[in-house]
Structure formats: structure tokens, C-alpha cells
Amino acid sequence: MNTYLNALSHTPSPSKADSLNGRLVRWIGSWLLPFAFLLVAPTLISNAWAQAYPARAITLVCPFAPGGSADIMARLIAQKLGESLNVPVVVENRPGAGGMVGANFVAKAKPDGYTLLQITGAYPAASALASAPQFDAVKDMTMVSMVTSYPFIINVPPNAPFQTFTEFLAYAKAHPGKLNYSSSGIGSIGHLSAELMNALGNIETVHIPTKGGTTALSELLAGRVDFMFEAPTLSLSYIKSGKLKALASTGKERYKPMQDLPAVAETLAGYETISFIGVGAPAGTPDAIVQQLNNEIRKFVAQADTAKRLTELGGEPQTNSPDEMNRFVANEFRKWRQVITQRKIERQ
């Protein structure tokens, strides 16, 4: 018994205790080190990507034909982003299916930051219309930032039998199915904006889809259609010259450059349609690269000459975080899906 008590009360000498503690620390460290590496590895890899990026030219895919408002904006973004990153940014037009051909190409591209997509208001609209989408518009694309946003303008020929939006609605109600409008295609944001107006205004107008570019606007200028929803980027010069008459803007509030022009929402409560231009990248693009692109976009949009040019093109300079833009696009997707269902538009 005394031997047992002596053993319990025995304390190792300081040298032996230190040796034991050291071995214990090394043993614990040998087990924890791999787990610690797993925790920090994504950050280390992401930072490594950012330090090496960009090492070569970047492709910005414009999902619409050359010459349209989206193409004009894409070339401005490419120029300014290239200057900011000090590498060439080349615009590649891949039109088709309301922008989905180009979007699908980017969604399936290598997520290394060298293939980017110009995101427009058409992106969530066309995605919502797709009956058999080749990719998930929300999950398979990482939003980087907006660059600009703007409402649409409802334009009519100067000799139209109505001079105000109120008169337009009254005429449409009195002549159901008589008025027609052009757009860049089925499921385009111009198409769905008009269908939202039809639903809220309890009117029926006829959709005339075109092949995109400036074709829809040309049809209106030629007097072959009665109205259209067009971005200020292309319509402002024709409005100023008197070749078109503006009836209303589609934002929640009046369009700042045209404060005398009423908003549709002043007559149709709850109506709001805005378009936007931004940049997206394939899902899986390293966070550090996405954030670097976001930072560079914020820088050049804040430049006085860029802001001036965006305003001249009819937009309002606007940037946001990747998370904010992801949420916005997801909300737009849900809104257009509801319009498509309510108006019984056949999904393509």
C-alpha cells in the first residue's frame, strides 16, 4: 500500500516533464497539421490565382448580334476593363436564343477568369422562358458586378393615333388585338415587358418577334409596327430628332434624363421593368478573381469619362457586390417566370 501511495505522489523531474510535454505537443501537431492545411488551402489557392491573374487576354462574350445596344455597351466595358487590368479584353459576339447561346457557352467554359459573359436584363428573362435549359442560370453563373441600369422607353411613331400613355391604353382597350409591337425575339425582355403591361393594363397587343440587333427598332422606324419597348441606348437619338415619340418609361420612378416623361407605374400600379448591363463568370471561378474583377469594374465605372459615357448611352452608372448581383438576378428570374406562366407564353 505504501508503495502504491508513493507512486501516486511521485512527480517527474522537471526535465522529464518537459520532455513528455514536448512529445505530446508534437504528437497533437502531427494530427492537426493536415486539417489546418485543409482549412487554409482554398484561401492560399485563391490568392495564388489572383496573383497570377490576368496573364493573357480575356474574352467578354456578348450574347447578342453586333450593332445593338448590348453590343455597344459590351465594347465600352471591354475597353475600360482592359485598360484597368492592363490586358486586352476582346468582345466575342455569340447571338441566339435570346442570349442563351452565348450564356451557355460561358457557363460551360473553364472557370479561370478568362471567359466572361456580358449579363443583361435579357439573361433572367430568356432563362425563365427556356423549357429545357442547358445550364442553371442561377447556380451555374457567378455574377461579378453591374455596370449600368436603365428603364425601357415605350416608343411609337410620331403619327400614332395617341399622344400619351393614357391615350395608348384607352386605344388598346377599344381595339383589342389591333396594336402590334416588335422585340428582339420571343422571351426577350422587350417581349416580356410588353406582356407584363398587357396583364396589368387588361389589354391585348400582338407580338412581332425579330432576329435581334436593330431589326426591331427598324421595323418601328419604318412604321410596320405600332410600338416597342427599347433601351434609351438606341432610342434617345430618334426621340430627340422627332423620328419617334416617347410615351412612358418603365422604371418604378421617372427616368432622370426625361423627367417630363411619365412612368408606366403612374398609371399601372406595380409595374416596373428595368434592364441592366453587368459582367458574369462561370460558376467555380476563384473568389479572389471574382473580387478582383469586381474591384476593377468599380474603379472604371467611377471614372468621370465612363460615367459620362454611360449617361450619354441612357444608363445610370451602378455597381454592386457579387452577392448583391446574384440575388438581383435570381429575383428577376422568378419575376419573369411568373409573367410567362400568367400570360401562358409557350416556353421555348
For residue 49, pLDDT beyond 60: no
The rounded Cα 33 to chain-centroid distance in angstroms is 42
Report whether the peptide linkage leading into residue 54 is cis, meaning its omega lies within 30 degrees of zero.
yes
Same domain? 200 vs 294: no
For residue 77, pLDDT beyond 80: yes
Task: Mention every residue, 6+ apart, whose C-beta is less than 8 A from residue 264.
Answer: 154, 165, 197, 248, 249, 250, 271, 273
Q: Is residue 86 part of a domain?
A: yes
| Chain segment 251-282, per-residue pLDDT in tens | 999 998 899 999 999 999 999 999 899 999 99
Q: Residue 51's pLDDT is what?
A: 64
User: How many whole angstroms separate alpha carbon 334 and alpha carbon 325?
Assistant: 14
Same domain? 180 vs 139: no
Q: Is residue 164 part of a domain?
A: yes
CATH of the domain at 115: 3.40.190.150
Residue ending a domain, choose from 216, 238, 266: 266
* Residues above pLDDT 70, as percent of the chain: 85
Q: Is residue 33 part of a domain?
A: no
Q: Residue 4's pLDDT is what?
A: 35
Residue ending a domain, choose from 247, 266, 285: 266
| Chain segment 155-196, per-residue pLDDT in tens | 999 999 999 999 999 999 999 999 999 998 888 889 999 999
Residue ending a domain, choose from 266, 288, 306: 266
Q: Is residue 205 part of a domain?
A: yes
Q: Residue 192's pLDDT is what?
A: 95
| Chain segment 231-259, per-residue pLDDT in tens | 888 898 999 999 999 999 999 999 988 99
| Chain segment 214-225, per-residue pLDDT in tens | 899 999 999 999
Whether the CB-CB separation of 178 and 145 falls below 8 Å is answered with: no
SS3 sequence, 26-56? HHHHHHHHHHHHHHHHHHHHHHHHHHHCCCC
Same domain? 223 vs 315: no
CATH of the domain at 242: 3.40.190.10
Quick one: cell of 4? 502504491
Q: What's the whole-model pTM score? A: 0.77
Strands 227-230 and 58-62: unpaired
Q: Is residue 34 part of a domain?
A: no
Mean residue pLDDT across the chain: 88
For residue 140, pLDDT beyond 80: yes
Amino acid at 59: T
Higher pLDDT, 116 or 48: 116
Q: Would you list the DSSP string of 227-273? A: EEEE-HHHHHHHHHHTSSEEEEE-SSS--GGGTTSPBGGGTSTT---
Give the number of domains in the chain. 2
Q: Which domain holds residue 219?
A: 153-266
User: How many whole angstroms separate alpha carbon 319 and alpha carbon 276?
Assistant: 10
Q: Is residue 98 part of a domain?
A: yes
